[in-house]
Amino acid sequence: MAYPWHLYLMGILYFLAGTMHFIKPKMYEHIMPEYLPNHKLLVFISGFAEIGLGILVCTPQFKNFAIYGIIVMLAIFLLVHFYMLNNEKFKARIPKWILILRLPLQFVLMYWAYSYLSL
């Protein structure tokens, strides 16, 4: 079955985002909430998850599994977004409007993934 190009685009974006966890791990470790343990391990796990889900969403037998995985992953990532919004060290470097805009963007990305379940 041929999927629409934008489903493949979503898969590529998650694959690339996951790859960045291995290219720039310190950047991701820096934004991890302090209450979470072992930031380095969590960055690598989330990178593998994004890469794997990006690949699986383009695979017919695993597409729906990957879509649910992406939605759960994005919901978990909300922890980081709320942490950054409420932490003074980020407010000095990143405009508050960007930190606020990232929250609804997560739900747009969840809906984008959800919209492919019916294919």
How confident is the model at residue 62, as a pLDDT?
97
pTM over 0.85: yes
71 burial level (CB within 10 Å; 0-12, 13-18, 19+): buried
Token output for 12? 């590529």
Mean local confidence (pLDDT), 92-103: 92
Give domain limits for the chain.
5-114
Find the mean pLDDT for residues 2-22. 97
3-class SS at 37?
coil
Q: How sure is the predictor about 1, in pLDDT bands with cuts at 50, 70 and 90? A: low
Percent composition of the chain: helix, strand, coil (DSSP 3-state, to 5): 75, 0, 25
The 10s digit of each residue's pLDDT in 40-53 is: 999 999 999 999 99
Helix (H, G, I), strand (E, B) or coil at 63: helix
Q: Would you state the structure tokens that stand for residue 63, as one six-digit string?
A: 């597409």
Q: What percent of the chain has pLDDT over 70?
A: 99
Residue 95: predicted pLDDT: 92
Residue 19 and residue 22: Cα distance in Å, rounded?
Answer: 6
* pLDDT score recorded for residue 3: 92
Residue 28 has pLDDT above 70, yes or no: yes
**Burial degree of 18 (CB within 10 A; 0-12, 13-18, 19+):** buried
Over residues 28-35, mean pLDDT: 94
